[in-house]
Each structure stands twice: as structure tokens, then as C-alpha cells.
Chains A and B, each alone.
Chain A
Amino acid sequence: MMLPLELRAASFRDIIKPLSLQIEAGPSTIILGANGAGKSVLMRLMHGLLAPSSGTIAWRRPGRHAMVFQRPVMLRCSALANVAYALRVAGEDETLAMGALKEVGLAQLADRPARVLSGGEQQRLALARAWALHPEVLFLDEPTANLDPSATREIETIIRAFDAAGTKIVMATHNLGQARRLGDEVIYLHQGRVLERASVDQFLSRPASAEAAAFIKGELPWVS
């Protein structure tokens, strides 16, 4: 078990102020916050794509973690070859690719060029690419921000399957409905600082900070 992931006074330029945080195994963690709050940067720090300007970020043990981006980048080859590439880079058996495509319901599109797939299909392909690697932790950076409701539902179903298979989910979003549907706990980020950490229910019904309350009200303007 590679978790917990421990951030000690980790900062990134002036986007993430020095913050200390532990991401434990188990509950799905939702990182909430307005645009520019630093959600994406925090995800990239945890995933190791960015190095902290100060402080440390350490896993308990080395292990595999994957990330699905808001806009997935696909290689100019078939859907199947994209998954196979990820397996090859990870030193895994490429023949597992088809199984991963089946898992996300893309088996019938395996030979289709990845770049001509729809946005929702490409995002499912990105999830298949992650699924094939059997990560212990899956980071998702607003994976449905560009998708319509039906594609969003499909993505959420797959994310639940990851959760059911024992993968720790860490997802950035500003969609409160999605946070409620997929999350167990919320980390609320405001201007590069963690203002609140609470269970989803508690956060949504009784936010402790004025900023979080304003954010929830802004996202759900019809609830007053």
C-alpha cells in the first residue's frame, strides 16, 4: 500500500501556498474549488508532474498512480494501440489492452483511430489506459468538464468501478452534484489554501467557512 500520501508544507510558486495534507487510503477524495483555486496544480504536484517549490511530497511506499486529464491526449493510432502503448511503457503485457477497453465499453471501437473518437469516448479511452495499469491511486482532473450529461454519467460509472476495484480516487471538480455522487470527503481549496476538509454531506450542508458557503451557493444558485 503506497498510501498515505503526505504533503509537508508543500507549495508551488504563489499558486499553492505551503500546505500540509495527508491523503489516506479508502474514501474517495474530492478536491473542490473555484477556477484558479489551484486544484489542477495540486493534482499535478501529487501526481509528480510538478515539483513543489518548497516542502515535500512523499508516498509511504513507491507504487503506481495514474492520472486522467480534463483533455486527454491520444496518440495518432487506434484506441487499442493507445492502451497498448501505456502498457508497453509501464513494462506490462500489451495483450491486456483489450480487456481494459471492454471494461469501459469501447471494445467495438478498438480499431478506430483514437483521435476521431468523440470527447466522451476519448475520456473513456483515457480511463481504459489508466485501468490497464491497475493503479493504486487514480487522479482525475475535472474529467467531465467538457462532456455532456450522458457522457458524464458513463464516465462516473467507470470511476465507480475503479473505486469498487479498490483504487483510491482523488478527483478535482467544481461540480457539486458529481462530488456528492462520487465522493466521500471534500478538500476545499481557496486561493491556494485548504480552507476545509470534511465529509461530503457535512461540507455541502454545513460548510464551516464563509468562502465555501459562498462557493456552494454560487454553484447552486437555485438553493437559497
Chain B
Amino acid sequence: MQEFPEILLDGRLWQIVLLSLQVSLSAVALATCAGLPLGAALAVGRFRGRDSLIVVLNALMGLPPVVVGLFVYMALSRAGPLGAFGLLFTPGAMVIAQTILILPIIAALSRQAVEDAWREYDEQLRSLGAHGLRAALTVLWDIRFSLLTSVLAGLGRASAEVGAVMIVGGNIEGVTRVMTTAIALETSKGDLPLALGLGLVLMTIVLVLNAAAYLVKEAAQRRYG
């Protein structure tokens, strides 16, 4: 068993870190592509069932990762509707599960941001003759730095969760083992230095990403008001 500081030089550790980042960032990218337009449409659109959809979306923000994992597991397992793709216990399955997990977070938070901005911009944009999609895109672009916060919340959730990736990934060494599942495993095995090292790396990454986003937002605030 290696001691704590040396563990950081271990190649296995960095492989795990890399896979974690790949999975979570892919999930964030996918959830952003779907969640931002969904949030914007909910903020601006006026249609039947809108209120219920917003309530459901807000409730889904607290979706338990293990439940998402279970559903994705059933869908991807051999007998499931998507079993033919053979995705279970691959990084692809983990990306799917995390995307489902954080899509409501990104959509719900961006809906709130867009709706607040819309209240301010709506009249002015209509007065200038910008309607519909054009107005929506103008608002989205104008508040892009606030939307960064919603995306970041999704990333935080994705990189911190363990239940969904554990169930659909299976925590297979060298294939689907990510930081959170490795920490859970090493802790139960009693290899606390490795668990601690991974925990430290995980926290550092989250901290650095948040600091970067904060700085970008602050700079934008100063630059654009």
C-alpha cells in the first residue's frame, strides 16, 4: 500500500481522473445542448402545461442518482429496450445516466435566469422589432455569463455523484472506474491513502473550475456591466 503523497504519482490515479473528467464533461455538454433551449423555451413560451412542466423540472433537480442509475440500467440491460447497443458497463452508459441526472438542473436554472432577463428585455426588444427566436437568442447571448452558473451547477452535480455511474458503469478497473466510485471502493477496502488522494484531486478540480467560472463572470461584469 502506497503512502498518501506518493499516491499522486500513480498512473492508475490519473487514468481514473481523466475518465471522470471525460464522462462528466461529456454529460455537461450534452445536457447543456438540450437544457438551455428547453429552459429558454419554458421561460419565453406560453403554452398549456407550462406551469406543470416547470414544477416537474424543479422537482427533478433533486433526482436521486441511484434512481437514475437504476432506470438507465434497465433500459440498457440486455433485455431492455436499448439493450441491443451493448452500452451497459461502458463510459457511454455513464454519460447517458449523468446527462439525464443534470439535464433538469441546467434546464430549470437557465429557465429562471432567462425568465428574469426576459422580463427586463421583452418590451425593448419588441419595440426594436426583434421577435421570437431572434429575441430569444439575443437574450441568451446577453446573459451568457449568468448561464455559466447553471452549467457549472450541472458539472458540480455530475462530478460529485456516485450512485448512477456505479450502477450503469459497474466500477470496472481501467474501463469505467471514476473518482467517486474509486473513492467508495477504496474506502470500503481500507485503502484510505488512495481514497484520500482521489478525494483531494476531485475537490481541487471542482474548486479550480468554479474559480475559473467566477473570474470569467466577474471580468464580464466589469467589462459589460
Chain A residues within 8 Å of B, Cβ to Cβ: 44, 47, 49, 66-67, 69, 72-73, 75-77, 85-86, 89-90, 113-116, 129
B225 CB contact (under 8 Å) in A47, A85, A115: A115
**Interface hits, B90-148 → A, CB 8 Å:** 120-121, 123-124, 126-130, 134, 138, 142-143
Nearest CB of B to A166, in Å: 21
Nearest CB of B to A10, in Å: 19
Let me know if B47 is at the binding interface, CB within 8 A.
no
Given the contacts A76-B224, A115-B225, A66 and B127 also touching, CB distance less than 8 Å: yes
Q: Are B134 and A115 in contact (CB under 8 A)?
A: no
Q: Are A89 and B225 in contact (CB under 8 A)?
A: no
Given the contacts A47-B127, A90-B128, A75 and B225 also touching, CB distance less than 8 Å: no
Chain A: which residue is nearest B139 at the CB level? A75
Chain B: which residue is nearest A133 at the CB level? B128
Provide the residues of chain B in CB contact with A116, threshold 8 Å: 225
Provide the residues of chain A in CB contact with B128, threshold 8 Å: 85-86, 89-90, 129
A-B pairs, 7 with minimum CB distance: A115-B225, A76-B224, A73-B124, A116-B225, A67-B127, A89-B130, A113-B224
- Chain B positions 192 through 207: 1 when the CB is less than 8 Å from some CB of chain A, otherwise 0: 0000000000000000
Nearest CB of B to A73, in Å: 4
Chain A: which residue is nearest B225 at the CB level? A115
Provide the residues of chain A in CB contact with B48, threshold 8 Å: none
Interface range on chain B: under 10, 10 to 19, 20 to 34, or 35 or more?
A: 10 to 19
Nearest CB of B to A115, in Å: 3
What is the bound-complex CA distance between A5 and B138, given in angstroms? 31
Q: Are A73 and B120 in contact (CB under 8 A)?
A: yes
**Interface hits, B176-225 → A, CB 8 Å:** 220, 223-225
11 contacts between A and B (CB under 8 A): A44-B123, A67-B127, A69-B123, A69-B127, A76-B224, A77-B142, A89-B128, A89-B130, A90-B129, A115-B225, A129-B128
Nearest CB of B to A59, in Å: 15
What is the bound-complex CA distance between A44 and B142, given in angstroms? 25
B142 CB contact (under 8 Å) in A47, A69, A72, A76: A76
Provide the residues of chain B in CB contact with A75, threshold 8 Å: 138, 142
What is the bound-complex CA distance between A3 and B134, given in angstroms? 29
Nearest CB of A to B61, in Å: 27
What is the bound-complex CA distance between A73 and B121, given in angstroms? 6
Chain A: which residue is nearest B224 at the CB level? A76
Given the contacts A89-B129, A89-B134, A90-B129, A72 and B224 also touching, CB distance less than 8 Å: no
Q: Are A72 and B225 in contact (CB under 8 A)?
A: no
Provide the residues of chain B in CB contact with A115, threshold 8 Å: 224-225
Provide the residues of chain A in CB contact with B127, threshold 8 Å: 47, 49, 66-67, 69
Nearest CB of A to B128, in Å: 5
Chain B: which residue is nearest A82 at the CB level? B128
Nearest CB of A to B140, in Å: 12
What is the bound-complex CA distance between A66 and B123, given in angstroms? 12
Provide the residues of chain A in CB contact with B138, threshold 8 Å: 75, 85
What is the bound-complex CA distance between A73 and B138, given in angstroms? 13
Provide the residues of chain B in CB contact with A113, threshold 8 Å: 223-225
Nearest CB of A to B144, in Å: 9
Nearest CB of B to A222, in Å: 36
